[in-house]
């Protein structure tokens, strides 16, 4: 087992011994004829001591200063005889040994600290995911009971109160879901499924959630699905729906007029019936600045400063990116020529047979 104290003591002893030896040899042979050389010895040797006993950040600067003082002295001594030259080399070897030892210790300590922090972060993410799950369960029960009560006979004021409770509960549930997804993504615990689905049905179901908002804002919604897309695909329908709902929510939120367009194509076909499905959602919002198009996918980041006023955690796009990556794809944003933004993403899907389904699962797990 290595002893840091032993290394430090041995290294310091080597440095001091070599420095004192070189100085005494030169002094005994009258190789230091002036006060400047003696001052150099007085500054160099204590410099090594102070440097070695100081903190790690100051230690390197101390070594450098000490070498700076010692260099001219021993260069001068080395010009006279081989003994002084040997003393110079001995000092340099001692300094090098100490420096390399400290560098090795620093690298090892940094590596251990990084591993400790990564383990701690993963543990916290797992705990957060478990906590959000425990809170979601009773909250879902509150929403269910409230919905059942609203289906019965109620007075007008009672109905308003219960609808407010359900609305707030839905908001809390969405926040908890986002926090849970973020924790699972950060901890590497997010799982994806593989099942047959109809892309058109998923698009229609997602759009149906925003019917009231579209009507209120007088927005149009158009879906343009490439006829070449197979009728039935194999992939994670639930995660794909979550991505669509999140992106459509942003599109409806930031659009004040015009149409929201959802388009999908098979951008690339691979062996074993694997297809890269590309989906794009364009809005008519204010657009996103070029220098913000990468940053908006980071957690707790918003596209515009005024978004802080309208609420939200700034997690939606970060979670979407994590979901898309888990499905073997990527996501990006471009400017729409007609104004607004276009969010596009790709996912790997297959056709409904055992071989493509297994291939999709294999490719997606490899990309994680």
Residues 6 or more apart whose Cβ sits within 8 Å of residue 337: none
Distance CA 279, CA 343 (A): 8
pLDDT 10s digits, 30-50: 444 444 444 445 545 555 555
> Average pLDDT of the chain?
73
Pair 124, 203 in one domain: no
Same domain, 10 and 99: yes
* Backbone CA torsion sign across 273, 193, 324, 121: negative
Confidence of residue 82 (pLDDT cuts 50, 70, 90): low
160 and 63 co-located in one domain: yes
pTM for the full model? 0.60
Of 190, 218, 237, which residue is a domain's last? 190
Check residues 150 and 354 and name the one with the higher pLDDT: 150
**Residues 218, 107: one domain?**
no
SS3 string, 154-196, reads CCHHHHHHHHHHHHHHHHHHHHHHHHHHHHHHHHCCCCCCCEE
Do residues 34 and 158 both lie within one domain?
A: yes
- Beta-carbon contacts of 160 under 8 Å, excluding residues fewer than 6 positions away, are none
245, 281 Cβ separation under 8 angstroms: no
Asked if 343 and 355 count as a contact pair (C-beta separation under 8 A), the reply is: no
327 and 349 both lie in a single domain? yes
Query: What is the domain extent for residue 268?
Result: 195-367
**Residue 200: CB partners within 8 Å, gap ≥ 6?**
223, 225
CATH of the domain at 276: 3.30.565.10
Check whether residue 211 and residue 186 sit in a common domain: no
Do 229 and 315 share a structural domain? yes
Instruction: For residues 160 and 205, state if they share a domain.
Output: no
Q: Comparing 125 with 286, which gets the higher pLDDT?
A: 286
Asked if residue 214 has pLDDT above 80, the reply is: yes
Domain boundary (173, 190, 207) is at 190
Residue 66 CA to its chain's centroid (Å) = 42
Owner of token pair 């050389």: 37
Domain match, 55 and 68 both: yes
To the nearest whole percent, how much of the chain has pLDDT over 90?
17
Which of 171, 190, 209 corresponds to the end of one domain? 190
Q: How far apart are the first and last CA of the chain?
A: 38
Which pLDDT band, with edges at 50, 70 and 90, does 348 fall under? very high
Q: Is 343 exposed, middle or buried (0-12, 13-18, 19+ CB in 10 A)?
A: buried
Q: Which residues of 152-164 are buried (b: 16+ CB within 10 A; e: fewer)?
A: eeeeeeeeeebee
Domain tally, the chain: 2
CA atoms within 13 A on the CB side of 61: 5
Give the per-residue pLDDT at 156: 87
Q: How do residues 176-201 score in pLDDT, each as one tens digit?
A: 877 777 777 777 777 778 899 999 99
Which has the closest alpha carbon to 234: 350, 151, 149? Answer: 350
| Residues 347/353/355/357 CA torsion (nearest 10 deg) | 30
Residue 250 pLDDT > 50: yes
Residues 162 and 242 in one domain: no
179 and 225 co-located in one domain: no
């Amino acid at each position: 087992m290595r002893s840091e104290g032993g290394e430090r003591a041995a290294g310091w002893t080597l440095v001091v011994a070599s420095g004192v030896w070189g100085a005494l040899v030169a002094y005994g042979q009258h190789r230091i004829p002036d006060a400047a050389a003696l001052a150099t010895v007085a500054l160099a040797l204590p410099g090594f001591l102070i440097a070695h006993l100081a903190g790690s950040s100051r230690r390197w600067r101390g070594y450098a200063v000490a070498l700076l003082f010692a260099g001219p002295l021993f260069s001068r001594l080395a010009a006279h005889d081989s003994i002084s030259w040997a003393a110079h080399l001995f000092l340099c070897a001692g300094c090098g040994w100490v420096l390399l030892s400290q560098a090795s210790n620093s690298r090892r300590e940094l590596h251990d600290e990084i591993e400790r922090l990564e383990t701690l972060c993963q543990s916290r993410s797992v705990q957060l995911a478990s906590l959000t799950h425990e809170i979601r369960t009773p909250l879902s029960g509150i929403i269910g009971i409230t919905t059942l009560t609203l289906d019965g006979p109620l007075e007008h004021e009672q109905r308003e109160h219960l609808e407010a409770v359900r609305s707030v509960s839905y908001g809390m549930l969405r926040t908890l879901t986002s926090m849970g997804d973020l924790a699972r993504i950060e901890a590497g615990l997010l799982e994806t499924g593989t099942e047959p689905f109809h892309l058109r049905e998923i698009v229609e179901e997602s759009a149906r959630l925003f019917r009231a908002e579209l009507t209120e804002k007088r927005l149009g919604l158009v879906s343009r699905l490439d006829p070449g897309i197979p009728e039935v695909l194999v992939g994670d329908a639930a995660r794909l729906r979550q991505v669509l709902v999140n992106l459509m929510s942003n599109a409806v939120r930031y659009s004040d007029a015009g149409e929201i367009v959802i388009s999908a194509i098979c951008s690339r076909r691979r062996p074993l019936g694997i297809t890269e499905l590309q989906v794009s959602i364009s809005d008519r919002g204010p657009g996103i600045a070029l220098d913000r198009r990468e940053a908006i996918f980071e957690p707790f980041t918003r596209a515009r400063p005024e978004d802080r006023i309208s609420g939200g955690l700034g997690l939606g796009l970060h979670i979407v990116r994590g979901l898309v990556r888990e499905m073997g794809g990527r996501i990006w944003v471009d400017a729409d020529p007609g104004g607004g933004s276009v969010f596009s993403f790709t996912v790997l899907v297959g056709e409904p047979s055992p071989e493509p389904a297994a291939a999709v699962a294999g490719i997606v797990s490899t990309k994680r």
